[in-house]
Amino acid sequence: MSALVRMRLAGFLRTGRALAPVLAGLLTLGVLYGGGPARPAEAYGVSAVVLFPVLAWQAKILLDVEPDVQRRLARVLVGPTRDQAAGLLAAMVAGVGTVLVALGFPWLVGAVTMPGPGDLPLATVLALGLWAHLLALLPAVAWGALASRALTRTAGYGVAVLAVGVVGTLALGLRGSVAPWLVPPVLATARALAGSLPAGTALLLSGWALAWAGVALTGYAWWRRTRP
Amino acid sequence: MRLENVRLRYGRGGPWVLRGVTARLDPGEVAVALGRNGAGKSTLLQLCAGVLRPVRGRVVDRPRHVGWVPERFPADQPFTVTRYLTAMGRVAGLGRADADRAVDRWTDRLGLIPFRGVRLPDLSKGTAQKVGLAQAMLRTPGLLVLDEPWEGLDSAARGLVPELIDEVLADGGAVLVSDHRGETVRLPGARHWTVADGLVTEETTTGDPAVAVAVVEVAVPAARVAGTVARLRADGHHVLRVREPTVPPASAAASPPPAPAAASPPPVPPSAGEPAGGPARSGRTGEVAR
C-alpha cells in the first residue's frame, strides 16, 4: 500500500494542482497573523479553524488528481480497501505537510510572542498547536473524501459538498449551536485553546473529532463500494 | 473464476445492466465477450476484474493477481513511461529490482524502449495502449482482462496481443477479452460469450452471425476431397459446402481460373496470416469456416 501512497503523492506534487491549496493556506495564514503578536496557543487554535477549509480542499484535490480509470487500475491491483486507505493516507500525509508549515509560519514572521515566565513552555505550545491542527486535519480529510469525484461524479456536486461541509462546520460549531455534535469540534478546540485546557476537555475533544471522522470515513467507504 | 447469478446496475432504481449472469472461466481458458455497443461487455469485464462489485450474486475464485487493460488507457498523468510502469509494478507488489526487470522486459517486448523517457500525455493513442498492456503484464496475472485490446494498435502490435494471451494461458492463467472488430479470429480456441439483454450466453462458433468467423477457401485435388473434409471436420472446422469439380480447359491448365465469389456467411475480416492474393485453386474447391 505504501507504493500506492507514494504514487498518489507523486502524482499530486508533479501537477500544478498542489500549488493552489498551498498558496491559499499561506494567504490565509498571512491574513491571520498580520494583525500583530498573539499568544501562540490561542493563535494555533484559530489557525486550525481557518485552515480547515484549505485542508479539506487539498484532500479533495489530491483524491481527484488521479484519472478515474487509473484509480480503478490501482483497485484491481490492491483491492478496494487498500485503494481507499492509500488515498486517505496520501491526503493525510499531504495535510501533515501543510500543518507543519502552519506551525512554523507564525514564528517565521514574528507573529507570536515567545513564552515568558508563567506561560506554557514552548514544547507544550507546539504540542498543543499540533494537536489542534490534527484535530482539524482528520475531519478535513474526511470531508475532502466525501466531496471527491469518486463519490460526487461532477465538479459542481463536489464543490457543493465541500462548501456545505465547511460552512456547516463553522456555523454549527459556534457557541450556543443547536447541534454542535453534527460537525467536527474545530471551533470548540479553538475556544478551548483560548483559555486553560483541562485534560478532560482535551480528551473529550479528541474523542469527538475521532468519532466524527470515523463516522464520515465509514460513510465514504460504504459509498465507494459501488463507486470505484 | 465463477460468476454466480450476478446482477448489476449503476444506480438505485436504474436499469439492470446485468441480470442474473452465471458463467465460469477456468485456468488455461480464454473467453471472448461479444455484443453490440452498450450491451454490457465492459461492465462484465470490470466485474470479472474486480473493479465493480455485483449488486446481487457473487464472483468467486477470482485469481489473486489480476491484470486489467481498460479500453482507454488513462494517459493524463504526470509520469514518464518508465516511472509509471515501475510505480505500477511496485503497487502490484513487486520489489524494486523485480519491478525494474519487469519494466525492462515488457518495454522491450512491446516496442516501448524509445518511449521510456516520454511523459504519458505525450504518447500517441496506440503507444499509450501498449503501456496499458505492459502494466497488466508486469506481474504475471492469473486472470488477464482485456477490454478491446486491439483498439488503436498498429497491425504489428495487434499480433502481440495473442502472444501475451498465450503466455498467460501457458502459465495457467485465464483470459477474458472483449472485441467488436472481429479481431478474435486471432484467438482460434476461444470460448465465445455473447452479452445481450443483461445476460451472458455461451455460443458455439458455428452458424451464429454474431460470432466473428473467417471463411477460408481451400483447393484440393478432386481425389482427396473426402479425406480433406473429414480431417477438417475432425479438427473442429465447419465445412460450409463442397463445390462440384471443375475441369479446366487444356489451355488454362497452367493458370487457375479466377476465384469464385465467396459464399455465405457474409464476408468477415481476414485473419492475419491470410495471403493477399487469395487461395490457389485446382480441381475441387471447398469453403471452410473456422
CB contacts of B52 in chain A (<8 Å) are: 228
Kindly state the average pLDDT of the residues A18-41: 89
B188 lies in the same domain as B72: yes
B191 lies in the same domain as B261: no
- Which of B51, B77, B91 lies at the smallest CB-CB distance from A72? B51
Domain that holds residue B123: 2-203
**Closest approach of B117 to chain A, Cα-based (Å):** 16
pLDDT of B11: 84
pLDDT of B182: 67
B196 lies in the same domain as B220: no
Could you give the CA distance from residue B219 to residue B280 in angstroms, rounded to a whole number? Answer: 6
pLDDT of B277: 37
Using a pLDDT cut of 90, give the percent of chain B over it: 51
Kindly state the average pLDDT of the residues B160-179: 90
Domain that holds residue A97: 2-224
Kindly state the average pLDDT of the residues B170-179: 91
Interchain proximity A75–B53, CB inside 8 Å: no
B238 lies in the same domain as B120: no
- Which of B76, B87, B92 lies at the smallest CB-CB distance from A67? B76
pLDDT over 60 (residue B261): no
- Which of B10, B78, B91 lies at the smallest CB-CB distance from A74? B91
pLDDT of A41: 87
Could you give the CA distance from residue A40 to residue A107 in angstroms, rounded to a whole number? Answer: 9
pLDDT band at B210 (very low <50, low <70, confident <90, very high): low
For the segment A99-157, what is each residue's pLDDT rounded down to a tens digit? 999 999 999 988 888 777 777 888 999 999 999 999 999 999 999 999 999 999 998 99
B179 lies in the same domain as B62: yes
B165 lies in the same domain as B220: no
Interchain proximity B87–A79, CB inside 8 Å: no
For the segment B1-25, what is each residue's pLDDT rounded down to a tens digit? 999 999 999 888 889 999 999 999 9
In a domain, B278, yes or no: yes
B48 lies in the same domain as B188: yes
B47 lies in the same domain as B144: yes
Total number of domains constituting chain B? 2
CB contacts of A76 in chain B (<8 Å) are: 49-51, 66-68
In a domain, B208, yes or no: no
Range of weakest confidence among A113-127, B128-142, B209-223, B274-288: B274-288
B64 lies in the same domain as B190: yes
Interchain proximity A7–B73, CB inside 8 Å: no
pLDDT band at B235 (very low <50, low <70, confident <90, very high): low
Range of weakest confidence among B105-119, B205-219, B222-236: B205-219
Per-residue H/E/C for chain A: CHHHHHHHHHHHHHCHHHHHHHHHHHHHHHHHHHHCCECHHHHHHHHHHHHHHHHHHHHHHHHHCCCHHHHHHHHHHHCHHHHHHHHHHHHHHHHHHHHHHHHHHHHHCCCECCCCCCCCCHHHHHHHHHHHHHHHHHHHHHHHHHCCHHHHCCHHHHHHHHHHHHHHHHHCCCCCCCCHHHCCCHHHHHHHHHCCCCHHHHHHHHHHHHHHHHHHHHHHHHHHCCCC
Q: What is the CATH number for B187?
A: 3.40.50.300
- Which of A11, A80, A228 lies at the smallest CB-CB distance from B78? A11
In a domain, B210, yes or no: no
pLDDT of B205: 52
Residues 120-149 of B with CB under 8 A from A: 135
B38 lies in the same domain as B176: yes
In a domain, B209, yes or no: no
Total number of domains constituting chain A? 1
Point out the domain boundary residue: B203, B229, B254.
B203
pLDDT over 70 (residue B173): yes
Q: Which ipTM did the prediction report?
A: 0.89
Q: Looking at chain B, which residue has its C-alpha nearest residue A8?
A: B87
B59 lies in the same domain as B134: yes
Point out the domain boundary residue: B203, B230, B263.
B203
Tell me the residue length of chain B: 290
Point out the domain boundary residue: B172, B203, B234.
B203
B71 lies in the same domain as B101: yes
| Most B-contacting residue of A70, A153, A225 (CB-CB within 10 A), to test interface | A70
**Closest approach of A9 to chain B, Cα-based (Å):** 11
The single-letter code of the amino acid at A55 is L
